Amino acid sequence: MTTTVSRALFSNVLVCLDKLCYYLIMSFFGNLFGSKKKSDTDTDIKDIEIVKKKYVDIINYWAGIIGGTKKLIDGSTFDSFTVFNTKHLEYSKNQIQLALIQRGINSKDRKDFEATKVCYIFTANFNNTVKDKYVSKTQKITDLVTKYGNLDSLSRKDKDKLIKEMAEVPNDEKEYKEFLDFLHEDQVRYTKFFEEIYTKSKK
């Protein structure tokens, strides 16, 4: 997503989070995922309070992450072909999702809502089942090309080095398919959840 799109998406941000929206979100989470432990509920309440105070900061932070203008904690840049552990985020995944849900509920029009939904779906790229990060073959090759810079200006020696390194990238088709299936399942689930909570908020 380009910086221009990110700026347009998050312009005219609504700062106020009303209690009715809190209860709506909390009850919907409960209905979707079943009853929660008290410790989980306490964490959700704390997250809501943080979102309440830092809503604009969280929205701008996430816009920077997916727009590529802000780095993750380890210094890397977000990309949609990598799944990261949530430890690389400055705010918790739950806090980011809550802020985006509020942003979606208060969308000024359908186009704004759809753009916010895409931003919400990108949270699927952060999952604690991954110890650090899982980088797909596609992204590894992209990183190599980026590292070497403009291909037209490369010397024959550097081109040969690039080709050699690209050839050495593991080609585990089964692992890559599992990765794509895993990510797609989460994206579908997140899309459904985001749309359902938006619909529920308008009733």
Residues 26, 114: one domain?
A: yes
- pLDDT greater than 70 at residue 155: yes
Residues 78, 146: one domain?
A: no
Residues 72, 86: one domain?
A: yes
The boundaries of the domain holding residue 150 are: 136-171
Residues 143, 117: one domain?
A: no
Residues 91, 177: one domain?
A: yes
Q: Which residues contact 191 (CB under 8 A, 6 or more apart)?
A: 117, 121
The residue assigned the tokens 């529920």 is 200
- The packing angle between helices 19-33 and 38-67, to 10°, is 100
In this prediction, what percent of the chain has a pLDDT beyond 70? 77
Distance (Å, whole) CA 175 – CA 180: 9
Q: Give pTM, 2 decimals.
A: 0.70
Element (H, E) at 134: strand 133-135
pLDDT for the residue numbered 152: 79
Residues 102, 113: one domain?
A: yes
pLDDT digits (tens, 9 = 90+) for 111-133: 999 999 999 999 999 999 888 98
Residues 150, 90: one domain?
A: no
Residues 164, 116: one domain?
A: no
pLDDT digits (tens, 9 = 90+) for 92-105: 999 999 999 999 99
Residues 166, 179: one domain?
A: no
Residues 48, 114: one domain?
A: yes
Count of beta carbons in the 10 Å neighbourhood of residue 71: 13
DSSP E strands in 5-93: the ranges are 82-84
- Would the CA dihedral through 68, 74, 75, 76 be positive or negative? negative
Residues 36, 21: one domain?
A: yes
Domain count, the chain: 2
Distance (Å, whole) CA 10 – CA 122: 15
Residues 120, 89: one domain?
A: yes
